[in-house]
Amino acid sequence: MAYRIENLKPLLSHFMSRYETYGPVRERGFVTYQKLKNPEEVVTDFSVSDMSAKALFFPETQYVCFYELGKDPKMMEVKPETGARVIFGLRPCDIKALKTMDLVFLQEPALESYKAQRDRSILVGLACEVPSEECFCQSFGEMDMEGFDILLTPQEGCYAMEVMTEKGEKALEGFKPGGDIKTRRKAMPQKRHIDLKRLEELNEKLMDDSHVWDKLAEGCINCRVCTYVCPTCHCFTITEERFKDRGARAIVWDSCMNRNFTKMAGGANPRASNILRLKQRIMHKFFYYPERFNSESCVGCGRCIKACPMNRDITGYIEEILEGVTV
């Protein structure tokens, strides 16, 4: 059973009065998840945010330790964040993306900062009303809403609020929602679709040896934007910074599409060509990850398609692969 919510503002005000709250905000035409200063900032007239909520759990730069040299050298580890926070307005594909990243980062030994952010976040989902031009989440089957603590479904001029976990219930203490309402989620026809079943049946060795990758890489300039807007891409590098007698070590985002991502000391670079890098990206999303974790690491959000400056399309790639590789 769900509760009726007429207007989001009282709900947001309730959260903001108790917790650090993040939500979708539009700045210079882009929708991103930012810390909210007032409930009016939140926008809901978007399908998929331009930058994903990945940065709230796995930031572009996170310092892991600081050190001081000199007579009394010290090393200070950065403590993970504590204190509950609310993340409002995540889409179902966003929660799927988080669960996908969990498979890597929560594996023992877990990445502490990521675990802390996951543990302290109360996830309030917002089911989609209309698909974006690019998204294709339904290719992966019906959307699994598990993982949200609270889920809002827009319907007929109001929202149906489902409380899905104890965490969500606790966050709503003191909030008076409306009466009971039945949740109705509409089916949304999407413009794009990939034939996941046929893809899964492809022989991996055939994929590896195929020359379909040469064709796909023809129009790609290796700009890496796809990996930066992707909600599941999590490649990173570790960097050291020195400030005279102090220093810091940080985890920063990197990308498998980086020309020098696989360059080693000595100069060898196994993925020196764009063809190999593109192959790695697609195979990782649709073959290596499922092999390891039983889950694709693509959620069908379509951000990469929207952001690509060369207008490449991952669903087009899958079609080409299915055509080109099936013997």
Partner 1 sequence: MNSEKLKDACMKALDDGAEYVLSYVEGYDGSHPQAARITKQNIDSVIFDEYCGFSLPALLKNADKSKKTGIVVKPCDSRALVVLLQENQIKRENIKIIGVECKGVKDRKGKDDSNCKGCVTHKPVIYDYYAEEEGELSTDRGDFEDVAEFEEKDYEERYGFWEEYMDDCIRCYACREACPLCYCDECIVEKTMPQWVDFSVKPSSNWMYHLIRAFHEAGRCVNCGSCSRACPKDIPLMLINRKMASAVEDMFGFVSGMDIQKMPPVITLAKDDPDDILKGGMGHGVQDRELEATS
Partner 2 sequence: MSEPKIVGFLCNWCSYAAADQAGTARHAYPENIRIIRIPCSGRMDPKLIFKAFQEGADGVMVAGCHPGDCHYTNGNYYARRKLALTRQLLEFMGVEPERMRFEWISAAEGNRFADVVAEFTREIKELNAETPLKREAVTR
Binding site for partner 2 (CB under 8 A): 55, 59-63, 66, 241, 243, 248, 250
What would the 3-class secondary structure string for 139-190 be?
Answer: HHCCCCCECECEEEEEECCEEEEEECCHHHHHHCCCCCCCCEECCCCCCCCC
- The nearest distance, CB 97 to partner 1, in angstroms, is 17
- From partner 2, partner 1, none, which one binds at residue 66 (CB under 5 to 8 Å depending on kind)? partner 2
Answer yes or no whether residue 260 interacts with partner 1 by CB under 8 A.
yes
- The end-to-end CA distance of the chain, in Å, is 50
Question: Of 7-36, which residues contact partner 1 (CB under 8 A)?
Answer: 28-30
* Minimum CB distance to partner 1 smaller for 118 or for 312: 312
Answer yes or no whether residue 310 interacts with partner 1 by CB under 8 A.
yes
Answer yes or no whether residue 223 interacts with partner 1 by CB under 8 A.
yes
Answer yes or no whether residue 311 interacts with partner 1 by CB under 8 A.
yes
160-169 long-range contacts (CB < 8 A, ≥24 apart) are 160/2, 160/3, 160/4, 160/5, 160/184, 161/2, 161/3, 161/4, 161/5, 161/11, 162/1, 162/2, 163/3, 167/122, 168/122, 168/124
Cis peptide before 59 (omega within 30 of 0): no
314 SS3 class: helix
Residue 98 CA to residue 53 CA, distance in Å, equals 9
- From partner 1, partner 2, none, which one binds at residue 29 (CB under 5 to 8 Å depending on kind)? partner 1
Answer yes or no whether residue 270 interacts with partner 1 by CB under 8 A.
no
Answer yes or no whether residue 294 interacts with partner 1 by CB under 8 A.
no
- From partner 2, partner 1, none, which one binds at residue 52 (CB under 5 to 8 Å depending on kind)? none
Say if residue 245 is exposed, middle or buried (CB neighbours under 10 Å; 0-12, 13-18, 19+). Answer: exposed
- The nearest distance, CB 266 to partner 1, in angstroms, is 14
- The nearest distance, CB 55 to partner 2, in angstroms, is 8
Helix residue spans in the chain (DSSP H):
8-18, 92-105, 112-120, 166-171, 196-200, 204-209, 212-217, 225-229, 274-283, 289-293, 303-307, 314-325
- The nearest distance, CB 34 to partner 1, in angstroms, is 11
Identity of residue 275? I
Q: Which helix (H) or strand (E) holds 62?
A: strand 61-68
* Minimum CB distance to partner 2 smaller for 7 or for 239: 239
Q: Pick from 316, 320, 322, 324: which binds partner 1 (CB under 8 A)?
A: 316
Answer yes or no whether residue 144 interacts with partner 1 by CB under 8 A.
no
Angle, in degrees to the nearest 10, between helices 92-105 and 112-120 = 140
Q: Pick from 137, 229, 318, 325: which binds partner 1 (CB under 8 A)?
A: 229
Answer yes or no whether residue 195 interacts with partner 1 by CB under 8 A.
no
Answer yes or no whether residue 320 interacts with partner 1 by CB under 8 A.
no
Question: Of 42-81, which residues contact partner 1 (CB under 8 A)?
Answer: 50-51, 60-61, 63
* Minimum CB distance to partner 2 smaller for 84 or for 248: 248
Q: Which range of residues in 40-48, 64-72, 175-183, 220-228 is near partner 1 by CB under 8 A?
A: 220-228
Q: Pick from 228, 286, 289, 317: which binds partner 1 (CB under 8 A)?
A: 228
CA nearest neighbour of 114 among 122, 105, 123: 105
CA nearest neighbour of 301 among 41, 55, 90: 90
* Footprint on this chain of partner 1 (rule: CB under 8 A): 28-30, 50-51, 60-61, 63, 215, 217-219, 221-225, 227-229, 237, 239, 241, 250, 252-253, 255, 258-260, 273-274, 307, 309-313, 316
